[in-house]
Amino acid sequence: MLILLCILAALFLVLGFEMLLVMGVPSVLARFAQFPNLPEIVIAQKMVGGVNVGTLLAIPFFIFAADLMAHGTIAERLMNLVKKNLGHRTGGIGHTTVVSCMAFGSVCGSAPATVAALGRFLHPELVRAGYKERFSLGLIASSAECALLIPPSITLLVYAWLTGTSVAALFAGGLVVGIVLAIAFMIYVTIVTRRDGIQTAPRASAAERWEAVKASVLALGMPVIILGGIYSGFFTATEAAAVAVAYALLVEVGIYRQLGWRDVMRVAEQSALTIVAIFILLAVGSVLSYFITLARLPDQLLMLLSAWDVNWVVFLLVINVVLLVAGMFVDPNSIMLILLPAVFPVATALGIDPVHFGLVVCLNICIGMITPPFGLDLFVTSSSLRKPVETVIAGIWPFVLTNIAVLLVISYVPSISTALPRLLGY
């Protein structure tokens, strides 16, 4: 029966059904077909109870804060600061793109929000500097991935909720992995810059750099408050998310006066639609996770791997392939909701550190965000910059290969992900 339900879910996915139905219909059928003695109310209880978790409150707060900053001036000020300090170096505008996306990612946690907020500023600068159109689009879409790794990351919050892993430990590991990925992108930018003979921007004067610092000091306060508060133990990730909203409102409405209260209400409406879509998936996913556990699927997988004498090295290779393929067709949250309940217990049984495994999963999801045919960031880049999606896809492949190279390093050198969390005592 379990196999038939998996086939049904795959059929729904191929036919283009919403992920709500792909996960929900097999879950409901499992209750009647495989667990008929369970009370009917258990599905509603699991849906409500699954999302009635304090950690998940951070998601709507971070989404709202990200949308406020995307519609305000924080994103532009952060980009200008990086440009004034890096623009004159070899590959300066390209490096500005990568670092700006890292900086904005450290205050929003959302890759699509990073593309929408920074793309309209970065794309003209890259083209003006002499970079090819497809390279510029590919760099913007790829650099936004860092927002999924650099804390606060909504993807890591969902992983923490599903697996019970420490949010602070995941954030610490994500910071290191995000920096490693950014360095890899910057190396590729340098290679392209030298190969194509791209000219550097004029060196900014000391006065111009100082003006950029003064203009962005409040924008820089956001990551300092969020990360400093979490790692110092002053507040939790959920409290940090609430502080992020309050700070964004204070800066954008009260100090910069870029947004009025009517603008705030429009942003809140936009954020609410995104939040509702995410939480419906999380609620249905919690039911799916419950029936996967009842069906003892993790135990069956572990017995199968033990019979085949599979070690953690081969297991991670298989997981990477599965996640890379899944990322081409399924959105990130759905991937984790479907796969993690089954594979996470197996990973821990094989001795894989939960933080290390979380960063491997998250990096795979980053790649899925830019992988055709359905990578979300490809379409966000296309729509926000009004460029054909085919052009974005044409420029994305070198960055996909760079991602895969970094993924292999992160997968098989666990200390990259775990060293900082352990140093901080998590």
Q: What does the H/E/C string look like for 210-221? A: HHHHHHHHHHHH
Mean pLDDT over 2-31 rounds to 71
For residue 108, which of 222, 217, 185 has the smallest C-alpha distance? Answer: 222
Dihedral sign for Cα atoms in the order 69, 74, 75, 76:
positive
CA distance 338 to 22: 10
For residue 231, the model assigns a pLDDT of: 75
For residue 1, the model assigns a pLDDT of: 56
For residue 62, the model assigns a pLDDT of: 84
For residue 100, the model assigns a pLDDT of: 84
The model's confidence at residue 187, banded by pLDDT at 50, 70 and 90, is very high
Bigger pLDDT: 339 vs 351: 351
* pTM score: 0.84
For residue 361, the model assigns a pLDDT of: 94
CA distance 161 to 163: 6
Task: Judge whether 76 and 125 are in contact, CB under 8 Å.
Answer: no
Mean pLDDT over 167-174 rounds to 91
For residue 6, the model assigns a pLDDT of: 65
For residue 358, the model assigns a pLDDT of: 95
**358 CB-contact burial (10 Å; exposed 0-12 / middle 13-18 / buried 19+):** buried
Lowest mean pLDDT, pick from 14-28, 59-73, 216-230, 352-366 = 14-28
The model's confidence at residue 114, banded by pLDDT at 50, 70 and 90, is confident
Task: Judge whether 55 and 239 are in contact, CB under 8 Å.
Answer: no
* Per-residue buried b or exposed e for 363-401, using 16+ beta carbons within 10 Å of the residue's own CB: bbbbbbbbbeeebbbbebbbebbebebebbbebbebbbe
Tallying the residues shown for the chain, one arrives at 426
In three-state secondary structure terms, 180 is helix
The model's confidence at residue 298, banded by pLDDT at 50, 70 and 90, is low
The yes-or-no verdict on residue 53 having pLDDT over 60 is yes
Name every residue whose Cβ is closer than 8 Å to that of residue 163 and which is 6 or more positions away in sequence: 340, 344, 354, 358
**317 CB-contact burial (10 Å; exposed 0-12 / middle 13-18 / buried 19+):** middle
Mean pLDDT over 332-355 rounds to 87
Mean pLDDT over 399-410 rounds to 94
Bigger pLDDT: 29 vs 324: 324
CA distance 253 to 257: 5
For the chain, domain boundaries: 53-423
For residue 316, the model assigns a pLDDT of: 93
Bigger pLDDT: 185 vs 369: 185
CA distance 1 to 8: 11
Task: Judge whether 58 and 240 are in contact, CB under 8 Å.
Answer: yes
Question: For the chain, what is the largest distance between any 2 Cα atoms, rounded to a whole number of angstroms?
Answer: 74
- The token duo for 101 is 């996306």
CA distance 35 to 294: 9
The yes-or-no verdict on residue 209 having pLDDT over 80 is yes
Mean pLDDT over 406-414 rounds to 95
Inter-helix orientation angle 42-51/19-33, to 10°: 140
Bigger pLDDT: 38 vs 98: 98
Mean pLDDT over 50-71 rounds to 82
CA distance 387 to 70: 20
Give residue 198's identity as a one-letter amino acid code.
I
According to the per-residue pLDDT averaged within each range, which of 103-107, 202-206, 324-328 is highest? 324-328
For residue 415, the model assigns a pLDDT of: 94
pLDDT, tens digit, 9 for 90 and up, residues 212-258: 888 888 888 877 887 788 777 788 878 888 888 998 899 888 888 88
The yes-or-no verdict on residue 7 having pLDDT over 80 is no
Strands, DSSP E only, in 86-168? none
For residue 11, the model assigns a pLDDT of: 76
The model's confidence at residue 289, banded by pLDDT at 50, 70 and 90, is confident
The yes-or-no verdict on residue 302 having pLDDT over 60 is yes
